[in-house]
Structure 1
Amino acid sequence: MVGFLSWWDGVELWLSGLGFVVQTAVVMPVVLLLAYGLAWGLDAALGEGIKVRERLRHGRDGEVR
């Protein structure tokens, strides 16, 4: 853990030394990839939750409960 935190401090210092435009160009692809991954995961989880709810709601015989 100490090694990771030391590496992160180095990255943070390097990034803070860059100009604003360069910081934006470096950070935005990372943030966009993380946001896309989070949205994809939440969409998949919500889709599965809706499928489970529909199965529970309609039951095995297809009647709405």
Structure 2
Amino acid sequence: MDRLEREDELRPCRDYARRLGAIRLVAIIHPENTASRRVAEKIGMSFELTATDGGQERSVFGFDIASA
């Protein structure tokens, strides 16, 4: 699956979350997965913090759905 296909799949998820009344949408991404980071940024997410999950670092991206 290429980057454009991932973007095309994520936009409907974002729109669906908006219709459900969700306030925030987040993506938890492995820090070295630059393709997923770019896709998250492309749909309007921005880097928020680095978290640890089971001893492994993860990058957390997100945005307020109402403003996206």
TM-score, normalised with respect to structure 1: 0.30
The structure with the greater share of residues assigned to strand is 2
- The higher-RCO structure (CA 8 Å, 6+ apart) is 2
